[in-house]
């Protein structure tokens, strides 16, 4: 058995022992997004598989469903979403984050509670995989953690982005990526799912 296979097996045994948590993710492709074939290929062949792997290493299985939807951008660029599902985390895939949240920073993602729907919005052209531990991690992992760690219930993105929660999300993402440790995330994610299902904010 190679060292890598051993680590995978060890992680799998640990996850089973600690109980696997299933997290429903509804992926919504924005029909208005303009992404190049290369950007889409990079996302689906590399970034998203890494997201699934990182969470699974921490005992969290992403159960995905797919649908088409739309990010409608009004005159004030205050976005409206079409195609979201209740009680799950909506992963909206688009080409850029609306100015309403982005403020010209060319963000790769943003996560918020929109009209009671948890939404992680990913700008595919700016998304990336794991690069530097604690500093630059997989965009989808980082954004989904803002939902699972319940930042979405506390404040709007502009507020939580400034109070240390960016680093916290990167820290937990690194612990999934390198240390295969998802115990604290599973606990918070379970509470998050309970809140979403009960409709409590």
| Chain positions contacting Zn ion, by CB under 5 A | 166
Minimum CB separation from Zn ion for residue 161, in Å? 6
Token pair 């990526």: residue: 177
Q: Are 91 and 29 in contact (CB under 8 A)?
A: no
With respect to Zn ion, which residue has the nearer C-beta, 11 or 125? 125
**H-assigned helices in the chain:** 3-18, 37-42, 48-57, 99-102, 139-148, 151-154, 157-160, 165-179, 183-198
With respect to Zn ion, which residue has the nearer C-beta, 6 or 167? 167
With respect to Zn ion, which residue has the nearer C-beta, 9 or 162? 162
Minimum CB separation from Zn ion for residue 169, in Å? 5
CA–CA separation, 70 and 79 (whole Å): 10
Minimum CB separation from Zn ion for residue 37, in Å? 28
Minimum CB separation from Zn ion for residue 145, in Å? 8
The secondary structure of 71-88 as a DSSP string is EEE-TT--EEEES--TTS
With respect to Zn ion, which residue has the nearer C-beta, 70 or 151? 151
**Residue nearest Zn ion (C-beta atom):** 166
């Amino acid at each position: 058995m190679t060292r890598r296979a051993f680590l995978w097996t060890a992680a799998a045994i640990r996850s089973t022992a600690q109980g696997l948590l299933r997290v429903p993710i509804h992926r919504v492709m924005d029909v208005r997004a303009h992404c190049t074939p290369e950007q889409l290929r990079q996302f689906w062949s590399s970034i998203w598989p890494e997201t699934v792997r990182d969470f699974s290493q921490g005992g969290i299985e992403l159960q995905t469903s797919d649908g088409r939807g739309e990010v409608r951008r009004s005159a004030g660029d205050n976005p409206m979403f079409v195609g979201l599902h209740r009680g799950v985390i909506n992963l909206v895939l688009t080409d850029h984050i609306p100015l309403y949240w982005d403020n010209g920073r060319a963000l790769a993602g943003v996560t918020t509670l929109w009209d009671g729907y948890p939404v992680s919005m990913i700008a595919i052209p700016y998304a990336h995989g794991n690069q530097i531990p604690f500093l630059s991690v997989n965009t989808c992992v980082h954004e989904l953690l803002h939902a699972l760690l319940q930042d979405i219930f506390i404040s709007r993105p502009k507020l939580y982005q400034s109070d240390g929660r960016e680093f916290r999300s990167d820290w937990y993402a690194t612990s999934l990526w390198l240390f295969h440790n998802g115990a604290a995330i599973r606990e918070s994610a379970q509470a998050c799912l309970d809140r979403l299902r009960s409709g409590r904010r």
